Chains A and B, each alone.
Chain A
Amino acid sequence: MLAIRTSKMTKPIIWLFGISVAAAAFGYAFILPGLGQTAKNVDLGAYSADAERGEYVLRMGGCVVCHTDIDNGGVFLAGGAGLETPFGTFYAPNITPDTEHGIGAMSLEDFYVAMTAGVTPDGEHYFPSFPYTSYGRVKTEDIVDLKAYLDTVEPVARPNRPHELIWPFSNRQLVGVWKSLYHTPEPFVSNEVESAIWNRGAYLVNGPGHCGECHTARNLIGGISANALEGAGKSSFSSGAPPIAGSRSTIRDWSLNDLVFYLQLGLTPDGDVSGGKMIDVIEHGTSHLTGEDLEAIATYLKSL
């Protein structure tokens, strides 16, 4: 497609302008419908929803980390604290089933399209601060169950705080350009050569777990680099996250059991504790997963 190597983009913001002008010339309509299409090929009615499993999917997906204002004792899923990025501050919205302020009016199909294609019920683009770039790989049955669970959550009439974004990044249409570079919703495909537990781990890490959203470096316009999970230095996007794959990774020396333990309790084998955002990821995400799933994640990470 576009012959632009992300790592060599020295003046990406200018590129972005260039591309957006070009895109404007072609018309945004060209970019929009293609991505909204995905749900049409999927039979959402083929699964009978299980809300209890959906609660587990919520933990696999770490949704609470962004959608609850944890540090200020915010109400469960009623909207998160600010996520600071070079484009401004994003506030993850209320996803309780309140019809006015939450997602109570979203149909299952709307929800599916939001999660996988990053498109709103009105056909606009969501900003990729909602990590649909990873959730695009979540299995259909998991999304169906998750929606069934979210429908059972206590609705909270808490109005959403608008994002505080820098022009021109406040423009949702620009996201369409970004997506044409960095997001193709593709379902998770198992690797037949590997074991079932490895594949489960690969799914959890690259799909719902969205570990790469923090552990993989980004370029200046927020595109994810090719060195998956090899760490992200401190940048304007985050205070960084260490490598969990590759030769620089400390966890190469950890046993499978050490990794499982870390994802449960946040304790490292050398007597340190997890820090930064990983504390929330563990407390509100991975510590709720079954031993088998954590072992699957560990098996996959250790193989990288």
Chain B
Amino acid sequence: MLRRFLAAVTLSALIAMPGSHASANSDSVIEYRQHLMRAIGGHMAAVAAIVKGRLPLTEHIAEHAELIENAAELVPAAFEEQVSDGLTDAQPEIWSRIDDFVELNAEMSKASAALAKAAEEGDMRDIAMAMQSLGKSCGSCHQPFRKPKEESYKQPR
């Protein structure tokens, strides 16, 4: 009972938070899209771990690739609102060249589909090649639209 009450209180507090209306809080916009990217990165790292460690989980690679393909569908909306100030590496050019951005996202989607296919067929060489193309598709969007490492909000320790 008490727990239910607390849950209701926290929820209504959340709903009442400033910025949950028309225009979202810009920190949350950044937080969300970065987590979306990290989720994509997480699948990429999982695939890498399978290949690097020669784990007998080749069929998982196809799953991870499909999950990247699904995540790609979320990318355009995550970057819809222009927020380029704050703890972000997004370059303002994203919003002046949004069509290119969306197109590059579609390229990533295609590359992950190709990885899924290679993984289903199971040839390690093809899988490695498909991973290389997928990695390249990430780089093709990061190159114009994400700040380089030395200017990142993530400063080296």
Contacts and interface: CB of A to CB of B under 8 A. Distances in A.
A257 B52 contact: yes
Interface string B124-157: 0000100110011011001100101111000011
Contact of A276 (B128, B132, B136, B149): B149
Contacts of A287: 132
B150 A279 contact: no
Among B136, B146, B148, B157, the one with the most A-chain Cβ atoms within 10 Å of its Cβ is B148
Interface in A243-299: 243, 248-250, 257-258, 261, 264-276, 279, 283, 287
Nearest to A258: B52
B149 A240 contact: yes
Given A250-B156, A265-B132, A287-B132, A275 B148 contact: yes
Contacts of B131: 265, 267
B52 A270 contact: no
Given A250-B156, A275-B139, A270 B45 contact: yes
B41 interface: yes
A270 B41 contact: yes
Contact of A242 (B41, B139, B150): B150
A279 B41 contact: no
B35 interface: no
Contacts of A273: 44, 135, 138-139, 142
A121 to B, nearest CB: 37
Contact of A241 (B49, B132, B150): B150
B45 to A, nearest CB: 3
A232 to B, nearest CB: 8
A37 interface: no
A266 B38 CA distance: 16
A172 interface: no
B48 A276 contact: no
B42 interface: yes
B128 A265 contact: yes
Contacts of B156: 231, 242-243, 248-250
B41 A240 contact: no
A279 B157 contact: no
A107 interface: no
Contacts of B33: none
Contacts of A233: 150
A239 B128 contact: no
Contacts, number: 81
Nearest to A277: B148
Contact of A275 (B52, B149, B157): B149
B110 interface: no
A234 interface: yes
A257 B149 CA distance: 22
B43 interface: yes
Contacts of A257: 52-53
A275 B48 contact: no
A261 B50 CA distance: 12
Contacts of A272: 41
A250 B150 CA distance: 12
Contacts of A266: 132, 135-136, 139
Interface in A183-198: none
A218 B142 CA distance: 26
Nearest to B138: A273
B139 A271 contact: no
A211 to B, nearest CB: 15
B135 A267 contact: yes
Best-surrounded residue of A242, A261, A267, A276 (most CB of chain B within 10 A):
A267
A249 B156 CA distance: 8
B41 A271 contact: yes
Nearest to A243: B156
Interface of B: 38, 40-46, 48-49, 51-53, 128, 131-132, 135-136, 138-139, 142-143, 146, 148-151, 156-157
19 contacts: A234-B150, A239-B150, A241-B150, A242-B149, A242-B150, A243-B156, A257-B53, A261-B51, A265-B128, A265-B132, A266-B139, A267-B45, A267-B48, A269-B49, A271-B43, A273-B142, A275-B142, A276-B149, A279-B139
